Each structure stands twice: as C-alpha cells, then as structure tokens.
Amino acid sequence: MIIVNSIPKLREARKALKGDTGFVPTMGALHEGHLSLMKSAKEHAPNLIVSIFVNPTQFGPDEDLDTYPRYTEGDTKKCESAGCDILFLPNVSDIYVPDAKTEVHVSELTNRLCGASRPGHFNGVTTIVTKLFNIVQPDLAVFGKKDYQQLAVIRKMVLDLNIPVEIIGAPTIRENDGLAKSSRNLKLNAQMRQSAPALRQGLLKAQAAFQNGQRSKEELERIVAEVIDDAKAGLRSDYISCVDPKSLEAYEGGEEALIAIAIFAGDVRLIDNIELHKA
C-alpha cells in the first residue's frame, strides 16, 4: 500500500494503477462499516483508493470537529489489511485554498432531515466529494446507506453534473445489539451506549407495524419516538421522519417508505434509518 499526503503524489500513484479503480472516502476512526465498503469496492474493481480526511466544511460551528476521533496509525493498518492500494491522507491546507469561491450545492434534497438541522453540512459534503473525485478520478465509489441522505444527494449530484463515477450504496453494519457502527460511538459514555440501541429497536418496531399494514406517517413516527422516549436515559430526538425514499419528501402512503432519525445521546448525535417495504 502506498501512503500519500499530497495531491501531486496521489495523482502520480493513481496513474500507475492499471484497470478500474474503486474509491472509499472516509473521515477515519475506521470500523467494520468502513471495511465493508472497501470489500464491496474490491468486488467491483481491482484497485482501491481510500481517503481519510476530517472535512472541516461539513461541520457546523457548534459541532464536534475538534473532538472528532483521529486514529491514523490504526486506520493505516486496517486499510492495508483491507487490500487498499493507495491511502490518501491530505491536510486541510492541501484541499482548501484560502480564497476559494466555488461550492457545490444540490438543492431540495439537502433542505430536509439532516440538512434542516445542519445548515451548510451538505454543501461541505458535496464540495469535498467533488474535489476528491477530481483528485482521485475513480471509476466507482462506495458510500454507506447508514448516511442515506448523503448517498441520495451524491447520486443526484453525479447525475446532474455528468460525473463519470458509478455510485454504489452499501448496507449498514451494526453492533450485536443493533446500534449502527459509527466513529461517533466511541464518544458515548457507558450510560448512553446502553440507551443507544433504542434507535434500532424503534425503527424495527415501525417496520413491523408497516408490514402489518400501518401506512400513517404520523403513527409510524410516533412508534419510533415512543421507543426512544422509553429508553433508559438521555436520548433526545433531533428528528424522526417518515419520508419517500427517493425524494426524501414527507411520506404520503404507498408501498415504500424510509424512516430516518437523528438522536442526541448526551451531546453525541447519532443517525440511523430503515427502508420500509411490504413483508
């Protein structure tokens, strides 16, 4: 595995790869969720490039940029064992020039869910993903369905801007108790870690109701909220929204839906979602 810190070195190493290249962009503190994306990329292309970059522009002023976990040494070993060919570890100053005037904005899809509670977040995401795509020039890139809205926004951006990168969505990897793996789980205290599986339990209960014929948006959301409220301690909902899985607009009935949630466990914001279909 070649480790590169600068854009020119990345371009040089990239040029030497023969055949298709898959790309997995991450913010590090790698866990099995990230490793499953790498595995999926390897199944689709012989070469794999992974980036680790804690992107400042997708964090709001009161968010956890400074305390976001960083474990470069352990992450490097994990990438190597996952069969990564090039690991890209740029600095903020390599990626962002101080007088930049250009941003990528996807409208509508970014107004809702996490976009409503994290203004500017998706502009940060779409801008960094575009920059990384231009630097890495992959044939395909894998993103997790755990960040369902992010995946939908990136799919739309690639389509609208004719970016020649195939986008692959990969399933959410979970702890044994159902909590979606996340770098932010490392920040949960013991009590919050105990309460956090309620996110998944609430979503599963709503899924069971949907499969039993429940088609009321309000009722499906209420079922999730009740489980979250009943959890032992400290969970506070940011949003619990039942939406159309394509437009992410409010669910109005039909055989497909998505419930997306963002819940604060103490000051750690956790997200999860579930796709609802007939049984």
Candidate residues 181, 187, 200, 269; the one interacting with ligand AMP per rule CB under 6 A: 181
Candidate residues 106, 109, 129, 180; the one interacting with ligand AMP per rule CB under 6 A: 180
Annotate 55-124 with DSSP letters as a single string: -GGGS-TTSSTTTS---HHHHHHHHHHTT-SEEE---HHHH--TT--------STTTSTHHHHSTTHHHH
9 touches 35 (CB < 8 A): no
Q: How far apart are CA 209 and CA 219, in angstroms?
A: 9
- CB nearer to ligand AMP: give 121 or 181: 181
Q: Of residues 131-170, which lie at the interface with ligand AMP (CB under 6 A)? A: 143-144, 146-147, 170
> By rule CB under 6 A, what count of residues binds ligand AMP?
17
Does position 172 interact with ligand AMP (CB under 6 A)? The reply is: yes
Cβ 120 to ligand AMP, closest distance in Å? 16
Candidate residues 14, 22, 33, 85; the one interacting with ligand AMP per rule CB under 6 A: 33
Q: How far apart are CA 208 and CA 202, in angstroms?
A: 10
Comparing CA positions, the residue from 92, 101, 110, 89 lying closest to residue 154 is 110
Cβ 22 to ligand AMP, closest distance in Å? 13
Q: Which residues are catalytic?
A: 34
The residues that touch ligand AMP, with contacts defined as CB under 6 A, are 26-27, 33-34, 36-37, 143-144, 146-147, 170, 172-173, 180-183
